[in-house]
């Protein structure tokens, strides 16, 4: 596997009033170029902590995280993050929210016309061109997330990091955005690392699912390979035996092995 991200022997510890709290311990993970990997586990198992390490928003206590064989010591334009909270600037319209990121990455070497064109392409990619001039308070939660995804892809990152991007949405909107994300990933070939609590979402979107043990001292307990052909269609997968097998394997890990450990 041509690994674009390598997490090697990573431990993360925080100092508290009661002493050192080890959130992650001896985590190892390799993520291939163009691969979609989901991180799943119970609340508090360190999924977001691991994602933040890859994003460069925090640093490990020991071990190393590499991107393209270079140590990650902070954020970089090759890694874009989409949070559960869309994080749009309320005083800018949808076009301007995306344009701001485009200008930050490409402003030093491209004309304003090219920057505007990049922004338009990103908005159309997530079917939001019609809302370009609307302010965030004028659109729905699902549309805001579309803008957040457009903003991330407009930066042309090699790696897209997503922290429960659809967790605050209703089921129908969530399903629509999952399908949209499948389409966008297919068009861009981006590498994606996504934190999720949703088992079906993990199987639907991922090439592999990294299942994390309960904290403290959480680590990756098992990695499941999802051998479903792409592009994926949720209706066809509903009766697919391999989809059911993958779903059952994740549920068994989360609700038998890990719940027993926590008991």
pLDDT beyond 60 at 244:
yes
pLDDT at 208: 97
CA 67, CA 30: separation in Å to the nearest integer?
10
Q: DSSP assignment, residue 68?
A: T
Predicted local distance difference test score (pLDDT) of residue 258: 63
Mean pLDDT of the chain: 90
Of all residues in the chain, the percent with pLDDT exceeding 90 is 59
Task: Give the per-residue pLDDT at 172.
Answer: 84
Instruction: Determine which of 7-21, 93-107, 175-189, 197-211 has the lowest per-residue pLDDT on average.
Output: 175-189
User: What is the per-residue pLDDT across 115-164, written as a single tens digit (0 to 9) for each?
Assistant: 999 999 999 888 899 999 999 999 988 889 889 888 988 888 889 999 98
Provide the pLDDT for residue 57.
94
Which among 43, 50, 107, 69 has a CA at the least distance from the CA of 254? 43
CA pair distance 209, 41, nearest whole angstrom: 10
Give the pLDDT mean for 176-202.
88
What's the whole-number mean pLDDT along residues 33-59? 93
What number of other Cβ atoms are within 10 A of residue 18's Cβ? 6
Q: List the alpha helices (DSSP H) in the chain.
A: 47-55, 94-106, 112-125, 141-154, 171-188, 199-205, 234-237, 241-252, 258-262
Q: Exposed, middle or buried: residue 35 (CB in 10 Å: 0-12, 13-18, 19+)?
A: buried
pLDDT of 174 reads: 82
Find the largest Cα–Cα distance for the chain: 60
Sequence-separated (6 or more) residues with CB below 8 Å from residue 179: 234
Q: pLDDT (tens digit, 9 = 90+) per residue, 215-235? A: 889 999 999 999 998 888 888
Q: How does DSSP assign 194-243, residue by residue?
A: EEES-HHHHHHH-SEEEEEPPSSSB-EEEEEE----SS--HHHHTT-HHH
Residue 12 burial (10 A CB sphere; 0-12, 13-18, 19+): buried
> Cβ contacts of residue 105 below 8 Å, gap of 6+?
77, 155, 156
pLDDT band at residue 43 using 50, 70 and 90 as cut-offs: confident
pLDDT more than 70, % of the chain? 97
Q: CA-to-CA distance for 245 and 230, rounded, in angstroms?
A: 17
Query: Where residue 262 falls among pLDDT bands split at 50, 70, 90?
Result: low
Domains along the sequence of the chain with CATH: 1-72+160-263 (3.40.50.300), 79-156 (no CATH)
């Amino acid at each position: 596997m041509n690994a674009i991200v390598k997490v090697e022997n990573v431990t993360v510890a925080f100092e508290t009033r009661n002493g050192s709290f080890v959130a992650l311990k001896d985590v190892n993970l390799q993520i291939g170029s163009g691969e979609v990997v989901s991180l799943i586990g119970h609340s508090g198992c360190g999924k977001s902590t691991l994602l933040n390490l890859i994003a460069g928003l925090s640093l490990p206590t020991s071990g190393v995280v590499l991107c393209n064989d270079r140590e990650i010591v902070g954020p970089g334009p090759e890694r874009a993050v989409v949070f559960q909270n869309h994080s749009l600037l309320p005083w800018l319209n949808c076009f301007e929210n995306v344009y701001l990121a485009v200008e930050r990455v490409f402003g030093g070497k491209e004309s304003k016309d090219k920057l505007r064109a990049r922004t338009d392409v990103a908005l159309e990619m997530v079917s939001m061109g019609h809302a370009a001039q609307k302010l965030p308070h004028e659109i729905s939660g699902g549309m805001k997330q579309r803008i957040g995804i457009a903003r991330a892809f407009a930066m042309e990152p090699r790696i897209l990091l997503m922290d429960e991007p659809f967790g605050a949405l209703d089921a129908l909107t969530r399903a629509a955005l999952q399908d949209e994300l499948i389409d966008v990933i297919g068009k861009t070939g981006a590498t994606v690392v996504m934190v999720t609590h949703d088992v079906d979402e993990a199987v639907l979107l991922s090439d592999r699912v990294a299942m994390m043990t309960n904290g403290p001292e959480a680590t990756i307990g098992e990695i499941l390979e999802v051998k479903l052909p792409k592009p994926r269609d949720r209706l066809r997968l509903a009766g697919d035996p391999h989809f059911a097998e993958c779903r059952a394997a994740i549920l068994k890990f989360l609700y038998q092995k890990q719940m027993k450990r926590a008991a």
